[in-house]
Structure formats: structure tokens, C-alpha cells
Chains A and B, each alone.
Chain A
Amino acid sequence: MKSFKWENAVGVFALLLFAVAQYMALFTAPAERHMSEVVRILFVHVPAAWIALVTFTLAFIGATGFLITGRRGLDWFVEASTEVGVVMTTLLITLGSLFAKPTWNVWWVWEPRLTSTATMLLSFVGILVLRSTVRDADRRAVFSAAATILSFVNVPIVYFSVRWWVTVHQIQSSPATVDPDMVFVLRANAFAFLFIAIWMIAKRWRIAKMRGLAETAPPLPPEVTA
């Protein structure tokens, strides 16, 4: 009998919530006065942005924890949350481009928010590349923890870039300035993305654990391998 894994329950819940939230985003949320239907892109773009920042923050916490405690599980957690963060950030940038074209009339512009986000993505992709090139598990864990802490410096820069500099990208909205129907749909999608990310990190953590244990397992005796 297969053992129950808590993340499977989270995954089923996330899938149901995602289906309902996406339906609301596409069919029940009101169109915006100036952006019309294009505003619906924000119901996926903004949650992807929030969850990307959350996953990289989790990677930073895991990396700091690993350097303090040396627990292997935290190294696997860094690997898992970094990979999920890279997926979310890639999605975030693609969706941002699809929103920029009809609203700004360009696919991309080198302004502070977009540039810092692209830099953040590249630095965390670099961590995954680093992990795949260092064979020694102990050195890999220490190197990637240090690189994760260094890369995390960019996360608050991404968040505050729209406040610190003059940018094309709009500043963060607040529920006070947004139609309540839109706020509800945005929150539903944000929670759906959050639970999806939790499921993804848990699944990816188990893969990292499986590989990590296989890597450190003693070799089988010759009579078994023959």
C-alpha cells in the first residue's frame, strides 16, 4: 500500500481552487474601463509575480538555515524552491510581455522593474546551473546556499523598484483603489498559485531527496551488482 503524502491533498485542493479562480478571472470578473478585456491578464500575471517572490524568499530562508544547521533537507528545499521560483518568474515575464504589448505597445522595455526581474531570473537560473555542475554534494550545498543568499538581494529590489525609481511599470495597487469584484478574483487566483507552488515545492523536494540519498548511498557489494 502506498503511503499517504500530504502534498497530494494540497495538489487536489490547488487544482480545484485554480479551476474556479480561472473561471472567475475569465468570465465573471468585470472588464476595466480603459483596458477592457486585457485586464484579465493581471489575474495571472500578478499572482505569478507574488508567488515568484515568495518562492525565492523561501529559498533564501532554506539557504540561511542550511548554512546554520547543515541539515541536508534544507539544501533539497533550496533546490526545490529555486526551481519552482524560476518557473514562476519565467511565466511572470512572459505574461508581463503579453500585457505590455496591448497596453504599452512594446513587448519589452529596459526599465527598472523589468530589468531587475530579468536579472533575478538569470541569477537563480545560475544557481540551478551551479548545482548541476558541482558533483560533490557538500560543496554543492554550500556554494548554492551562498549563491542563493547573494541572489536574494535582488528580490526586495524587484519589489521596491517601482517606488524607488521612475518606471513605466505601475506601482503596487491596493484593495482601496481596485473594484472589490476584481480584488476577490485576484486573491482567489493568488491563493490558487500559492497552493500550486506548495505542491510543486513538496514534489520537487522529494525528487531532490531521492537523488540526494542515492548519491550518498554506499555502493552495492560486487555479488549484488554482478
Chain B
Amino acid sequence: MNGIIEGQTIFVVAAYVVTWLTLGGYAASLLIRGNKRPPEDS
């Protein structure tokens, strides 16, 4: 134990993948919902 964190790059990869998927997924949902007509009450 030397107090230095080593060999944990999997967490970095996971963090960036999660960021891209979250922001990309939500952005896509906004574009899809923005192009939909609102449901009409019957």
C-alpha cells in the first residue's frame, strides 16, 4: 500500500460511457418527443 491508486482505469472508462449514454439518450428522447404530436383528449 503506497497510497497511490493504480490500475483503476475501468472506472474512468465506465464514467465516460455513462456520461455519453445519459446525455445522448436524453437528448435523443427530447428530439423524438419534440417531433411527436401531443395526444388529443377524446
Interface set of A (CB-CB < 8 Å, partner B)? 18, 22, 26, 33-38, 40-41, 44-45, 48, 84, 87, 90-91, 94-95, 98-99, 101-103, 196, 199-200, 203-204, 206-207, 210-211, 214-215, 219
Q: State whether A95 touches B19 (Cβ < 8 A).
A: yes
The A/B interface has a contact count, at CB < 8 Å, of 80
| Known contacts A36-B6, A102-B11; is-contact A94 B30 (Cβ 8 Å) | no
12 pairs, A vs B, C-beta closer than 8 Å: A26-B16, A33-B4, A95-B19, A98-B15, A98-B18, A99-B15, A196-B27, A199-B27, A203-B34, A204-B30, A214-B38, A215-B38
Closest to A211 in B: B38
| Known contacts A36-B5, A38-B11, A103-B5; is-contact A91 B33 (Cβ 8 Å) | no
Interface string of B24-38 (1 = CB under 8 A from A): 001100110110001
Q: State whether B5 touches A98 (Cβ < 8 A).
A: no
| Known contacts A35-B5, A36-B5, A103-B5; is-contact A95 B15 (Cβ 8 Å) | yes
